């Protein structure tokens, strides 16, 4: 896959959002940007807590913000995640599961590293194959 202008726009939005992360313990700042159907972009940052287990990732913060703006399952089209680590970073397992509830398997995921300038592209389906979805529940 190749970066599209929309992917680049998402990376810029995630990079801008990342400046507002709250990561005093790990110093691992993350910015995320979701593209909703229609082109609206919603951002999120990681928010740590002194009770470490209460930390919430940037991806889930972006998603919950989008849900608060009316996002319905299947209605986000792309995600960008931006970090400044030693390598490109992908969403954690918890975020992959939460994202899979609202995105399709072919939803684009753009992972950008500010330190190296490297960008990798993948999809939600590649990050979480055989995911547990609402269809997995008994009816
Ligand atoms: Zn996460």
Whether pLDDT at 74 is above 90: no
The alpha carbon of 4 and the centre of ligand 1 are apart by a number of angstroms equal to 24
Catalytic residue among 59, 84, 101, 118: 59
The alpha carbon of 117 and the centre of ligand 1 are apart by a number of angstroms equal to 21
pLDDT band at residue 84 under the 50/70/90 scheme: very high
Whether pLDDT at 102 is above 80: yes
CA gap 53, 6 in Å, rounded? 34
Whether pLDDT at 79 is above 80: yes
Q: Which residue has the tokens 């807590």?
A: 49
Give the angle subtended at the CA of 102 by the CAs of 100 and 104, to the nearest 5°.
65
The alpha carbon of 122 and the centre of ligand 1 are apart by a number of angstroms equal to 16
Closest by Cα among 102, 89, 90 to 133:
102
Maximum CA extent, the chain: 48
In sequence order, the 6+-apart residues with CB closer than 8 A to the CB of 60 are 44, 94, 95, 98
Whether pLDDT at 93 is above 90: yes
The alpha carbon of 93 and the centre of ligand 1 are apart by a number of angstroms equal to 6
Q: Hey, what CATH class is 5-136 in?
A: alpha beta
The alpha carbon of 61 and the centre of ligand 1 are apart by a number of angstroms equal to 9
**118: annotated active-site residue:** no
Question: Domain residues of the chain, as ranges?
Answer: 5-136
DSSP 13: H
Write the pLDDT tens digit of every residue in 4-60: 999 999 999 999 999 999 999 999 999 999 999 999 999 999 999 999 999 999 999
The alpha carbon of 80 and the centre of ligand 1 are apart by a number of angstroms equal to 13
Q: pTM value?
A: 0.95
What are the angstrom distances between the C-alpha of 43 and each of 33, 51, 53, 86, 137?
4, 24, 22, 23, 30
């Amino acid at each position: 896959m190749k970066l599209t202008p929309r992917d680049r726009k998402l990376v810029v939005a995630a990079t801008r959002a990342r400046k507002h992360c709250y990561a005093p313990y790990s110093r691992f700042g993350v910015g995320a940007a979701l593209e909703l159907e229609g082109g609206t972009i919603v951002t999120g940052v990681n928010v740590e807590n002194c009770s470490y287990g209460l930390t919430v990732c940037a991806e889930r913060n972006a998603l919950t913000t989008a849900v608060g703006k009316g996002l319905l399952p299947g209605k986000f089209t792309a995600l960008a995640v931006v970090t400044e680590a030693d390598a490109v970073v992908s969403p954690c397992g918890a975020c992959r599961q939460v994202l899979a509830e609202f995105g399709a398997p072919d939803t684009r995921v753009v992972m950008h590293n500010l330190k190296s300038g490297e960008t990798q592209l993948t999809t939600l389906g590649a990050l979480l194959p055989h995911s547990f979805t609402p269809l997995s529940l008994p009816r």
